[in-house]
Chain A
Amino acid sequence: MMEYVDVDEKLAVDKFYVDEDNAHIVLRELGPGDMMQFHTLELACPAGLYECLPDGTVRFDYAGCLECGTCRILCGTTILEKWEFPRGTFGVEYRYG
């Protein structure tokens, strides 16, 4: 079992301008054969945005993305339908960095 970390609580201190009209990362419809790929994102995403729920369904939300590109490198050609940087002005804004 993967140990759960409440990353949302940490992301809550960060400043985000979420682009409600445009998802900059889109996950494609997943089949049972895609779960291994999805699991790598569950492990690697620093923001914990890829989550496999106990009932076997998956959850992904681009709000809270730190724009690091990890998921693009791991799954950009497999289970991600789209990976772009957020449009100008949108996304995370580091005050300290």
Chain B
Amino acid sequence: MAKLRGTGMAAVNYPTGMHLGGDPTQALVHATTTGNFVVTLSSVDLGQGLKTVLAQIAAEALGVPFETVLVDTGDTDTGPHCTGTFASRTTHRAGNAVVMAAREARKVLLEVAAEELEVNADDLVTDGEGSIHLAGAPEMKISVTDAALAAHFVQGKTVSGRGVYLKPMSPMDPETGECDPDSTHAHACTVVEVEVDTETGAVAVLSIKSAYEIGQQVNPALVRGQIVGGAWMGMGHALSETTAPYYPAIDHAPRDFLGYVMPGAAEMPEVECVVLEHPTETGPFGAKGIGEMVANSPIPAVVNAINNALGVRITEIPVTPEVILRALDEKAASAA
């Protein structure tokens, strides 16, 4: 009996967006009286940070401070249409819709400012800190707040914009199955080291190291949050998590968190990641999606590391201690 170490690797090529009957998201942007901007969406933030990312994208496209953008999401009764938060699509789809809406609102904002300053709107620029001024003449300026006040109370305009991103449905070739369902692809590779106890079948994951290529990162801290959380989820799926441990038999299906075993804080190794940025032409400021892929490559990487450690070929998950001990028994029996 021994503790054996192994290394495993796996790569993933992950699409952003999906087929369905077209894959649209719409966005509306408008200024309040005081020059804050509201982005209205039906897209939902699940905790991954969508509202933060879309506020960053809106602020960049509008040319106003991040702190002055409020993202209002998640009411599908009243909001503009969104297919939903899935398929790693929302930063890309909603982001594109927000950019389009923000650019239209920015155009109105600059027209209002131009009338107040008695200049040509094409000659105006924003400083990103709350002011609009004449290009080359920073003293010729008006605050975004004053421009919004003028729009509401003097000029009678809505500083607003409409945005939509639609990936039309791509019909599938009946002969080849070929279609164009997504908008761009992100890529990753994960290397995992494990230590397997051949007496108990217990697996300790020693390290999870990944490289990701996800286009332009909009928010690196949130990207890392996805990667670390996904590494843990992948580890759990590889080692213990299942709703049908004896599939297709439903015996011993877990009914709660006591039976559905997830790794805890003590099982979590350090996670290293590097992120490569190759902006995609279809994305908002070049962004691709990173939502789901983070839990993909860690799963086969963990299983491959176990196989490498033991000299076996396990191909199903989860690789529980029972699975490992049976694989070792089979290996011993075939050697005898």
A and B together in one complex: no
Interface residues of B (CB under 8 A from A): none
Interface residues of A (CB under 8 A from B): none
